[in-house]
Amino acid sequence: MTSHRSTPDLPADLPDGWRADVPGREDVAGLHALRARHEVAARGAESAGPDAARAEVAGDGAATRTHLLVRDGAGAARGWATVHDRAAGRVLVAVVVDPDLDDALGDVIAAHLFAWAEGAGVAQARARGLERTQLDSGAFEADARHQRRLAAAGYEHVRTWWQMRRPVGEDDRGARPTGPGVLVRHLGRPEGGMPGEDDLVAVHDVLERAFVDHFNHHEETFEEFLVRLRQDPGHRWDHWWLAELVDGDGAEAVGVLIASASTDDAGRAVGSYVEYLGVTRSARGRGVARSLIDAVVTDAAERGRERVGLEVDADSPTGAADLYLSSGFTTSYATQSWHRYAGII
C-alpha cells in the first residue's frame, strides 16, 4: 500500500473524496499522462516525454522542486503544481489542470494550485535569505483558458517565445566552414569522462557574459549551473560545444552551445534540442553563432536524428530569430512567459 502526505487545506467546493498530497515515484505515469492531455488540448501535441516527469518528481531534478498533486475520488491525477528554485530571485511555477474537467471545477483547482505555489515559492526564496522573488510561469499561446487562470492568479504576460524546429538529413552531414578565426570544439573530456574544470568554467563564464543583457537573466553560481544542466534527462556531455576566437597562438572562449537529446516514448534519441546558445557581446557579428548552429545540425544528422529544436525570444534584440530562419528553422508553435512577484512576510 502506498501512503501519501495529505494536504488538508483543499477548497471545500471540490467533489467529495478529492484530496491533495505530495506525489511520489509511483505517480510518474499518471503525472505524465495528465501533462500530455493538457499539452494535446492546448497545442495539439505532446511536448514533454515521460522521462521529464520522472526526473522532476523522483530523479535528479527533484531536489530543487516542490510538488502538489490534486487527486479525484479514485486517486487519479487531476491537477499538478511544481515550484522550481531556478535561481536566486526566480522561481519557476508550473500548473497543470486536467482539460477534461469542466471550466468551473478546473478554475477552482487552478486557483488552489497557484495559491499553494506562491507559498512554496516564498518558502524557497526565504531559504535563500531573500525579501522578494519572481514567480515565473507560462502558457501556450493558443491556450486562452490557462492564460485566463494565470491572470486570475495575478500573473502578467511579459514575453512570447517561438518554438522552432529544423529537419536534418543526409545533406547535413559533414563539417561546415566556420566564421573567420572561429574554432568550434567539444569540451575536453579526459578518458571520455566529465569535462575538465577549465572548460566547464569557461562555458559558465561565457554564458553569464552572453546573457547579461537578455530578458529575465538571473545569475547562477557555477555549482548551481552544473547541477541544473545535469538534472536534464537529455543531458549528454558530447552535446556541449565551445567556440573560440583564435589569434595566433591565443584562443579566447566567446561562444557556447549546449544541446540535449530529445527522446520518443521508447526512449530513442530522435532529435537534438538547443538548451543554450550564447555569444559574448564583443564577438557578435563574427559568425560564431552560425558556426555553433552548424555544429549541432551536423552532429544531429550524423547521429541519424530527425530534427534540431530550440526556443527563441520573439523580441530578442540580438537578431537571433533571423539567424535561425536563415539556417532553415521554422516556428512550430509559440509559448508565453507570465510573471508576478511575491514579497517575503
pLDDT digits (tens, 9 = 90+) for 194-252: 999 999 999 999 999 999 888 888 889 999 999 999 989 899 999 999 999 998 778 99
Please name the residue that has the C-alpha cell 467533489.
Answer: 15
Residue ranges of the alpha helices (H) in the chain? 28-43, 50-58, 103-127, 144-152, 197-211, 222-231, 288-302, 320-326
Q: Does domain 164-334 have CATH number 3.10.290.10?
A: no
pLDDT digits (tens, 9 = 90+) for 130-149: 999 999 999 999 999 999 99
| Every domain range in the chain assigned CATH 3.40.630.30 | 19-154, 164-334
Q: How confident is the model at residue 4 (pLDDT cuts 50, 70, 90)?
A: very low
pLDDT digits (tens, 9 = 90+) for 22-38: 999 999 999 999 999 99
Torsion angles phi and psi, residue 124, rounded to 5: -65, -40
**pLDDT at residue 2, as a whole number:** 38
**pLDDT at residue 7, as a whole number:** 52
Produce one character per residue of 153-191: b if its CB has 16 or more CB atoms within 10 Å, e if not. bebeeebebbbbbbbbeeebeeeeebbeebebeebeeee
Which of the four CATH numbers 3.40.50.720, 1.10.540.10, 3.40.50.1100, 3.40.630.30 does domain 19-154 have? 3.40.630.30
Rounded Cα distance, 155 and 228, in Å: 25
Q: How confident is the model at residue 158 (pLDDT cuts 50, 70, 90)?
A: very high
Torsion angles phi and psi, residue 307, rounded to 5: -160, 165
pLDDT digits (tens, 9 = 90+) for 286-300: 999 999 999 999 999
Instruction: Check whether 276 has a pLDDT greater than 60.
Output: yes
Amino acid at 100: D
**pLDDT at residue 343, as a whole number:** 87
Instruction: Check whether 8 has a pLDDT greater than 60.
Output: no
Q: How confident is the model at residue 128 (pLDDT cuts 50, 70, 90)?
A: very high
Q: What percent of the chain has pLDDT over 90?
A: 81
Rounded Cα distance, 256 and 272, in Å: 15
CB of 320 closer than 8 Å to CB of 215: no
